A = this chain, B = another copy of it.
Amino acid sequence: MSHEAKNVLEIIRVYLAAGPTEGLRRFLREVHYADLAEALPELNLAQQIKIIRMSEPNKAAAVLYELDRSEVVALLEGLGERRVALILREMSTDDAADLLGEMPREEQERFLSLMGTTEAEDVQELLVYEPDTAGGIMTTEYVAVKKDLTADEAINSLRATAPDAETVYYVYVIDRNNMLAGVVSLRELILSAPSTRVADIMRTEVVSVNVRTDQEEVARIVGKYDFLAVPVVDDERKLLGIVTVDDVLDVLEEEATEDILRLAHVEYEGRYFDASVLKRAGKRLPWLVVLLFGGLLAASVIANFSATLSAITALAFFMTVMAGGPGNLATQTLAVVVRGLATGEVSPRGVLVVITGEVGVAVLVGVVSGAIMAVVAYFWQGEAVLGFIVGVSLTASMIIAAVIGSFVPLIINRFGVDPALASGPFITTLMDVCSMLIYFSLATFFLHRYPI
């Protein structure tokens, strides 16, 4: 919990314990919804209901949206229908759709019936879109004016409609058929002469996204062009809604989390630590078992060389070094390539440049590491041949690690699959097999000729 939320929780507890109701009501009017939402889950359900009841409906709406979905249903049940109806009407349509979208069908319909008819219809329309597309994260509360109004008429029309809109980011201009015709900023409207026609001051090259565009692409566009919002249109360029920058911030956080967890081979969506231990274990176990069987491949490679191994036990000493070094280099390569693809630093066209660069790095790093370990092996075990085998196979394995670590994410990205699916544990398990094969093949070859 943030320190702001801790303070809020402290104050609420004091009020709940002894303070006058009016003081609490005043405090709830002043507190920021984000802090209140963070503090609320620390209270018991009865206290939560009391706090929400005493908050103004628009603040209550904002708080409910921030809470975990699993907690919201119980809270809504406890609040009673009249209060819920008040709160839902204060919610922006995209937030209401997000909230209701994760509820069972039956409760969804019950709560929808508590909203105003037009709002319920808007929300139902939003419920149709996939949650991770532009349609799923857009709001229908944007500000648009008709193309043939004057600046003055446009401002008046805004005065009439704007209070409904989340925030006035841009004023979109539409033609008679609701098709997106242009965009103008509130500032440009205000600074123009009152009789200027909107069509004359609007910019006509508007960047928009299709309603089915993936949310990652939407985030990329908003970030790249430094937009506060981007309009969402259907296939006929009819304006359906806008995606605002605060929703994009959420998408970016979600995607960064996904990338990191996927690299570590954890398949999880939503808040990981809220899930039960059993559920967390259930999600992680299958992959770990698959990787263990991958590890058995390396084991069977070693078993094939058991004659060599029983002849020179010292070979086993260096097995962890031989598996770890190339594994670490592969993990590094994978991370820089996956991140480079996510930020656009690596373009799909530059595959060859990236691979040759990373292999170049591995050659330098591999030769130095190999030389160091060769010297260590020689002085520790007093056998030049062993030093040679350790050094050469470490160098070779590291170069292969760079090829695998860069090639795998680039190739799967080319096929339109998220490169972060190329997980670190998967790559290092694969590298274990390669490293052991190289190490023991080289050992068998040389030790037959130059026995220790």
Taking Cβ atoms with an 8 Å cutoff, the residues of A that contact B are 1-2, 30, 32, 34, 155, 158-159, 162-163, 167-168, 185-187, 190-191, 205, 207, 220, 222-226, 228, 245-246, 248-250, 252-253, 256-257, 259-261, 263-266, 268, 271-274, 277-278, 280-281, 284-285, 288-289, 291-292, 294-296, 298-300, 302-303, 306, 309-310, 313-314, 316-321, 323-325, 327-329, 331-332, 334-336, 338-340, 343-347, 349, 354, 357, 360-361, 364-365, 368-369, 372-373, 376, 424-425, 428-429, 432, 436
Contact = CB atoms under 8 A, between A and B. Distances in A.
Given A260-B259, A264-B335, A320 B345 contact: no
A369 B338 contact: no
A332 B265 contact: yes
Main secondary structure of the interface of A (DSSP, over half): helix
A224 to B, nearest CB: 5
B320 A436 contact: yes
A350 to B, nearest CB: 8
A32 B207 contact: yes
Contacts of A328: 265, 288, 291, 425, 428-429
Given A272-B345, A318-B299, A372-B289, A361 B324 contact: no
Contact of A259 (B256, B284, B300): B256
A114 to B, nearest CB: 25
A319 B316 contact: yes
A225 B365 contact: no
A167 B1 CA distance: 33
A280 B253 CA distance: 28
A12 B85 CA distance: 56
Nearest to A245: B245
Nearest to A2: B344
A331 B273 contact: no
A343 B266 CA distance: 16
A264 B332 CA distance: 5
A30 B203 CA distance: 10
A346 B124 CA distance: 34
B365 A281 contact: yes
13 contacts: A2-B224, A167-B187, A245-B246, A249-B252, A252-B252, A259-B260, A288-B329, A292-B373, A302-B319, A302-B320, A306-B317, A320-B432, A331-B424
A340 B273 contact: yes
A406 to B, nearest CB: 11
Contacts of A285: 364-365, 368-369
Nearest to A334: B264
Contacts of A205: 30, 32
The 6 A-B residue pairs with the shortest CB-CB distance in the complex, in nearest-first order: A264-B335, A256-B256, A281-B364, A277-B360, A295-B321, A298-B320
Contacts of A300: 317
A223 B321 CA distance: 43
Contacts of A345: 271-274
Contacts of A163: 191
Nearest to A66: B224
Contacts of A361: 277, 280-281, 284
Given A368-B289, A376-B296, A228 B225 contact: no
Contact of A265 (B34, B331, B364): B331
Contacts of A334: 264
A222 B250 CA distance: 11
B224 A34 contact: yes
Contact of A365 (B271, B288, B332, B424): B288
Contacts of A268: 336
A323 B325 contact: no
